[in-house]
């Protein structure tokens, strides 16, 4: 039904991401390079985490459509209390587990699941959510609504990254836009649930 990413990927097709700041600053983590996986660039990550600096410490985070886990691991490095990663691709989820072991991170949970299915069953209220689904699949609107209904703490922050040509998604009315930038074909925004 909701296939976020193809399940197949070449096992030796790997790249890496770098953690920019915090406890794990400078660490490079291997990532799977599979169809639909787009690690957030260091430049975009730096901007986003400058926006989030006052909010990260002790937050409960969800990295939805986690892919490389770059956003969630960066949040963890900068003081998030707990980070949950949700990734459908089996090989990418396994790579997230290996990176968790590399960092010896005990406050991480990794679910190999469809994001929408996870959110429907979820009972945790997240302070911060990274919503960066595969492009051109129509996941932003549907996932945003489900998050709003089930998974957001009061005044939660939601980072949304999507293709710039589809930046007029119908997001929940109670989400206030705090920040926005466009970098090439990507628009990224920070919202707060009111």
User: Does the domain formed by 14-193 have CATH 3.40.50.2300?
Assistant: no
Strands (E), the chain: 14-18, 28-32, 60-64, 82-87, 108-112, 126-131, 152-163, 175-183, 186-193
Interior/surface letters 52-87, b for 16+ CB within 10 angstroms, e for the rest: beebbeebbbbbbbbbbbbbbbbbbbbebebbbbbb
Domain coordinates in residue numbering, the chain: 14-193
CA-based radius of gyration for the chain: 15
pLDDT at 84: 98
Mean pLDDT of the chain: 89
pLDDT at 188: 93
Distance CA 180, CA 21 (A): 22
pLDDT at 168: 67
Structure tokens at 139: 């996941």
pLDDT in tens, 68-98: 999 999 999 999 999 999 999 999 999 999 9
């Amino acid at each position: 039904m909701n296939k976020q990413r193809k399940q197949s990927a070449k096992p030796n097709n790997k790249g890496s991401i770098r953690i920019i700041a915090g406890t794990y600053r400078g660490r490079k983590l291997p990532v799977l390079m599979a169809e639909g996986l787009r690690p957030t660039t260091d430049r975009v990550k730096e901007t986003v985490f400058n926006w989030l600096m006052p909010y990260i410490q002790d937050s409960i985070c969800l990295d939805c459509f986690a892919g490389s886990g770059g956003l969630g691991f960066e949040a963890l490095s900068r003081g998030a209390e707990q980070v949950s990663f949700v990734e459908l691709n089996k090989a990418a989820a396994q790579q997230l587990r290996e990176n968790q072991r590399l960092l010896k991170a005990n406050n991480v949970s990794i679910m190999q699941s469809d994001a929408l299915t996870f959110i429907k069953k979820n009972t945790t209220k997240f302070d911060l959510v990274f919503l960066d689904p595969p492009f051109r699949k129509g996941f932003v609107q549907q996932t945003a609504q489900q998050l709003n209904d089930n998974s957001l703490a009061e005044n939660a922050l939601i980072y949304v990254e999507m293709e710039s040509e589809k930046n007029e998604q119908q997001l929940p009315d109670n989400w206030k836009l705090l920040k926005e930038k466009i970098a090439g074909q990507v628009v990224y925004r920070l919202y707060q649930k009111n």
